[in-house]
Amino acid sequence: MSTATEPRTIKQGTSKKLRLLICKNISVHLAHPVGIACITLLPIFAFMYTQLDQVINIHTPISVDERKFGLLDITMVRVSSIFYSPFNKILDEVIEDMADSLGTTVIESFPYASDMETALQQRDGFVGIEFEDKLVAIDKLPSELNVALRFPKHFRSKKSTMRSWPDTLFSRSREASETTPYEYEGYLVVETKLFEALQLGQNHSHITPQINVRAFPERMYMDFSYLGPLYSKFSVYFSFIYMAPCLIVGQQIVAEKQRQLREIMRIMGLTVTLNWISWFIVAYLLYFIPTVVVVCVMKWCMCPASNFLVLMLIFIVFILTLVCFTFMITAFVTSTLMSMTALFLMQFISFLPYLIIGIQHKNIQTLVVCMFMNSAMPSMFSQIYSYELRGVGLQWSNIFKHSHPDDQVSIGTILMIMLFTNILRILVAIYVDQLNPGDFGVAKKWYFPCQRTFWCPWKRPERRFVDEEQPLQQSMSSRAQLNESDLMRHKNVIIEAHNLSKTYGEHEVVHDFSLKFYENELTMLIGHNGSGKTTTFMMLAGVLAPTSGNISINGIDMAEAIQKGQRSFSICPQYNILFDELSAYWHLVFYSRLKGYERDAAEAEAERYLTVMDLLDKATIRVEYLTTSMRRKLSVCCALCGNTKVVVCDEPTACLDPFTRREVWKLLRMEKAGRCILMSTHFMEAAEFLADRIAIMRDGELFTYGTAESIINSLGPGYRLVCIGDEDCNVDEVTEFIESKISNAELESSIGFELTYRLSAQQVHKFTNLFKGLETNMYKLKLSSFGVIAPTLGETFLKISGNSLSQKHTEASLEKLQKWVGNPVDSQELRYSKKQLNEWQAQLLKKFRYVWNHFLLYILIILVPLFGLLILKIMKLVYKQHNLVEIDPTDLSVYQNAIVVRELLLPVDEDPLDTYNINNKGIANQYEKIAMNAGATVTTLESEGIVQYLLNNSYVDVEGFTETYVAAVTVSDTITMWYNRRLNHGAALSHGLILKAIAEYTSGLKITFRNKPRADSDLAVLIEQSNLVAVIDTACLMAFLTFAVSAFVLLPVYENISDLRHVQLMNGLSLWTYWLAQLVGDMLIFMLIIVSVLLSWYQSSANVLIWLGVLLFFFAISALISTYLLSFLFKDPGAGMAYVLAINCCVVLLAVFAMPLKDDHVYKYLHVIFLILPFYAMYGAVLLISTNSGTSTPCAQVNMKAFCQLHHMCCDLAELNTYKYLLSLFISGMFGFALLLLASRVLHLRYAIKFGQASTQGMYAE
Domain ranges of the chain: 14-56+224-435, 71-220+898-1008, 470-609+625-707, 718-790, 1024-1065+1075-1169+1227-1252
Pairing of strands 746-751, 556-557: unpaired
Mean pLDDT of 435-456: 75
Predicted local distance difference test score (pLDDT) of residue 362: 60
Average pLDDT in the chain: 81
Predicted local distance difference test score (pLDDT) of residue 462: 44
Nearest to 887 by CA among 745, 987, 1033: 987
Predicted local distance difference test score (pLDDT) of residue 474: 45
Distance CA 723, CA 741 (A): 15
pLDDT in tens, 522-560: 999 988 888 888 888 888 887 788 888 888 888 788 777
Residue ranges of the alpha helices (H) in 827-905? Answer: 832-853, 855-883
Predicted local distance difference test score (pLDDT) of residue 764: 83
Question: In angstroms, what CA-CA distances link 646 with 453, 592, 792, 1183?
Answer: 27, 14, 29, 65
Provide the 3-class DSSP secondary structure of residue 712. Answer: helix
Mean pLDDT of 265-288: 88
Topology (CATH) of 718-790:
VC0802-like (3.30.2130)
Distance CA 198, CA 210 (A): 16
Mean pLDDT of 243-249: 89
Provide the 3-class DSSP secondary structure of residue 1009. Answer: strand
Please tell me which of 352-356, 475-479, 937-941 the model is most confident about, judged by mean pLDDT: 937-941
Predicted local distance difference test score (pLDDT) of residue 22: 93
Predicted local distance difference test score (pLDDT) of residue 4: 40
Distance CA 1038, CA 1149 (A): 10
The residue that leads in pLDDT, 943 or 220, is: 220
Specify which residues 704 forms β-bridges with: 696
Distance CA 1208, CA 863 (A): 36
Alpha-carbon dihedral 133, 139, 144, 149, rounded to 10 degrees: 50
Of 564-568, 767-771, 891-895, the poorest mean pLDDT is in 564-568
Q: How confident is the model at residue 457 (pLDDT cuts 50, 70, 90)?
A: low
Predicted local distance difference test score (pLDDT) of residue 1043: 86
Question: In angstroms, what CA-CA distances link 447 with 26, 419, 432, 438?
Answer: 35, 26, 11, 18
Topology (CATH) of 470-609+625-707:
Rossmann fold (3.40.50)
Q: How confident is the model at residue 3 (pLDDT cuts 50, 70, 90)?
A: very low
Residue 306 makes CB contacts below 8 A (sequence gap 6+) with: 299, 384, 387, 388, 393, 394, 395
Pairing of strands 676-680, 521-527: parallel
Predicted local distance difference test score (pLDDT) of residue 87: 87
Predicted local distance difference test score (pLDDT) of residue 1204: 47
Cβ atoms < 10 Å from Cβ of 397: 10
**Of all residues in the chain, what percent carry a pLDDT higher than 90?**
18
Distance CA 624, CA 579 (A): 8
Q: b/e map of 968-1001 (b: 16 or more CB within 10 Å)?
A: bbbbeeebbbbbbbbbbbbbbbbbbbbbbbbbbb
Mean pLDDT of 630-654: 89
Predicted local distance difference test score (pLDDT) of residue 1073: 85
Question: In angstroms, what CA-CA distances link 316 with 304, 415, 429?
Answer: 19, 10, 20
Q: Return the DSSP state at 144.
A: E
pLDDT in tens, 93-140: 889 989 999 888 889 999 888 889 888 888 888 999 999 888 888 888
Predicted local distance difference test score (pLDDT) of residue 1258: 39
**472 has pLDDT over 60:** no
Burial class (CB in 10 A: 0-12, 13-18, 19+), 104: buried
pLDDT in tens, 1029-1080: 777 778 888 888 988 898 899 888 888 888 788 778 777 788 888 889 889 9
Predicted local distance difference test score (pLDDT) of residue 969: 92
Mean pLDDT of 954-975: 84
Q: b/e map of 887-896 (b: 16 or more CB within 10 Å)?
A: bbbbbbeebe
Pairing of strands 548-553, 521-527: unpaired
Pairing of strands 783-789, 746-751: unpaired
Q: b/e map of 1054-1071 (b: 16 or more CB within 10 Å)?
A: bbbbeeebbebbeeebee
pLDDT in tens, 20-59: 999 999 999 998 888 899 899 989 988 988 888 888 888 8
pLDDT in tens, 1141-1158: 888 888 888 888 777 776
pLDDT in tens, 775-807: 888 888 888 888 888 888 888 888 877 655 444
Predicted local distance difference test score (pLDDT) of residue 264: 82
pLDDT in tens, 1109-1148: 899 999 999 999 999 999 888 888 877 888 888 888 888 8
Q: How confident is the model at residue 174 (pLDDT cuts 50, 70, 90)?
A: low
Predicted local distance difference test score (pLDDT) of residue 285: 94
Predicted local distance difference test score (pLDDT) of residue 1246: 60
The residue that leads in pLDDT, 1199 or 760, is: 760
Rounded to two decimals, the pTM is: 0.81
Mean pLDDT of 327-333: 91
